C-alpha cells in the first residue's frame, strides 16, 4: 500500500512540476518571451484547443456555405435548379410530342391521306383530353353486387378498432323472434329472443369464459370475453356446457336455453353485447332472423 501511495505522489509531483519555456534571440541570446508551465497545464491547454477546433469546424459545416464544398453535402440552389429543370424537361417532352403529331398530320396531307380542313393544332390538343360526356360512369351489375356484399359485411362488424384488414363478424347465438328489443331509455341493455326449451346457445365469437354461475334472478349466466374489448352475456339458461376459464370458438355451443330465474316469462335467451365497457344494440351487428 505504501508503495502505491508513493507512486501516486510521484506521478502527481511530475504533473505539477513547473517548467520554464523561454524564447531567445539566436544571435544575442536575449530573452524575448518566457512561460511558466506544468505538464497538467499543457495537457489542459492542448485538450481545450482541440475541443474548440472541433466546435468551430462543426459550426462552419452546419451554418455556413462552406459545407457545400464537403463531399456528400448538396447545395440548396442546385436542388432547386434540378427541380426546375425537371419541370422544364417534362414540358418540353409534351410540346415535342404535340409537334410530332402536327408534323405527322402535315405529312398525311402532303401524301393525300388527310384533308387539309382536318389539320388543326387545336384538334390535336383536344385528342389528348378525354371528354367525360362520352364515358359511361354508371356501375355495372357485378360492381353493384359487390357493393351490396361489402355493405352487408360491414353492417355486422362491431369492432371498428380491429381495423379494416381484419374480419371479425359475430355469429348469432340463437335464431328466433325478438320479444323485447334493446332500449337504452328503459335500461334494457339486451334483447330477449324466444327459443325452444333446451335450444343450443352458441358463442358469438372466439373468446374465454370469465363468468359461469347460477343467479336466482336470471338462472344460469355466462359471460364470454372476446378480443378488442368485446363482452357477450347469456342469461336465463337451463344449463351451461362450459366453465369459467374455458376457451370457446365462434359458433360453439356454450349453454342450453331455458326459463330459469325469477325474472323470466318463458323459454328465451336474454342476450347482451358490450364493447369497451359500453352496452350496444346486438341487432345492429347480428342478424337474428
Model confidence pLDDT, tens digit, residues 79-93: 778 888 888 888 888
Percent of the chain with pLDDT over 70: 77
Residue 158 pLDDT exceeds 50: yes
Domain that holds residue 106: 86-144
Residues 6+ apart with CB under 8 A from 201: 173, 174, 234, 237, 253, 254, 255, 256, 257, 269
Residues 64 and 95 in one domain: no
**110 found inside a domain:** yes
Of 21-25, 188-192, 276-280, the least confident: 21-25
**48 found inside a domain:** yes
Residues 186 and 279 in one domain: yes
**220 found inside a domain:** yes
Residues 135 and 206 in one domain: no
pLDDT digits (tens, 9 = 90+) for 60-76: 777 776 666 666 666 66
Mean pLDDT, all residues of the chain: 79
Query: Using an 8 Å Cβ cutoff, are 230 and 278 in contact?
Result: no
Residues 63 and 91 in one domain: no
Residues 21 and 53 in one domain: yes
**198 found inside a domain:** yes
pTM of the full structure: 0.46
Residues 26 and 90 in one domain: no
CB < 8 Å & 24+ apart, contacts of 184-190: 184/279, 189/272, 189/279, 190/233, 190/235, 190/270, 190/271, 190/272, 190/279, 190/282
What are the grid coordinates assigned to 259, written together?
326459463
Residues 63 and 107 in one domain: no
pLDDT digits (tens, 9 = 90+) for 110-147: 666 655 555 555 555 555 554 445 556 666 777 777 77
Residue 243 pLDDT exceeds 60: yes
Residues 96 and 25 in one domain: no
Amino acid at each position: 500500500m505504501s508503495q502505491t501511495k508513493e507512486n501516486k505522489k510521484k506521478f502527481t509531483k511530475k504533473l505539477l512540476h513547473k517548467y520554464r519555456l523561454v524564447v531567445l534571440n539566436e544571435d544575442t541570446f536575449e530573452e524575448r518571451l518566457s512561460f511558466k508551465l506544468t505538464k497538467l497545464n499543457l495537457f489542459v491547454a492542448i485538450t481545450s484547443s482541440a475541443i474548440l477546433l472541433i466546435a468551430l469546424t462543426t459550426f462552419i459545416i452546419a451554418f455556413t456555405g462552406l459545407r457545400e464544398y464537403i463531399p456528400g453535402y448538396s447545395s440548396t440552389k442546385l436542388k432547386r435548379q434540378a427541380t426546375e429543370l425537371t419541370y422544364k424537361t417534362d414540358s418540353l417532352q409534351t410540346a415535342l410530342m404535340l409537334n410530332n403529331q402536327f408534323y405527322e398530320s402535315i405529312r398525311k396531307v402532303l401524301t393525300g391521306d388527310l384533308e387539309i380542313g382536318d389539320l388543326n393544332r387545336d384538334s390535336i390538343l383536344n385528342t389528348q383530353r378525354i371528354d367525360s360526356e362520352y364515358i359511361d360512369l354508371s356501375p355495372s351489375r357485378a360492381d353493384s353486387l359487390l357493393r351490396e356484399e361489402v355493405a352487408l359485411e360491414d353492417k355486422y362488424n362491431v369492432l371498428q378498432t380491429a381495423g379494416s384488414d381484419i374480419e371479425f363478424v359475430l355469429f348469432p347465438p340463437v335464431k328466433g323472434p325478438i320479444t323485447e328489443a334493446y332500449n337504452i331509455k328503459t335500461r334494457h341493455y339486451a334483447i330477449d329472443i324466444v327459443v325452444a326449451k333446451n335450444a343450443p346457445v352458441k358463442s358469438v365469437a372466439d373468446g374465454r369464459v370469465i363468468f359461469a354461475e347460477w343467479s336466482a334472478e336470471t338462472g344460469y349466466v355466462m359471460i364470454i370475453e372476446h378480443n378488442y374489448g368485446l363482452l357477450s352475456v347469456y342469461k336465463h339458461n337451463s344449463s351451461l356446457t362450459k366453465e369459467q376459464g374455458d376457451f370457446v370458438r365462434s359458433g360453439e355451443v356454450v349453454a342450453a336455453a331455458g326459463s330459469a330465474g325469477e325474472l323470466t316469462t318463458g323459454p328465451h335467451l336474454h342476450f347482451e353485447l358490450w364493447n369497451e365497457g359500453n352496452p350496444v344494440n346486438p341487432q345492429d351487428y347480428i342478424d337474428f332472423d
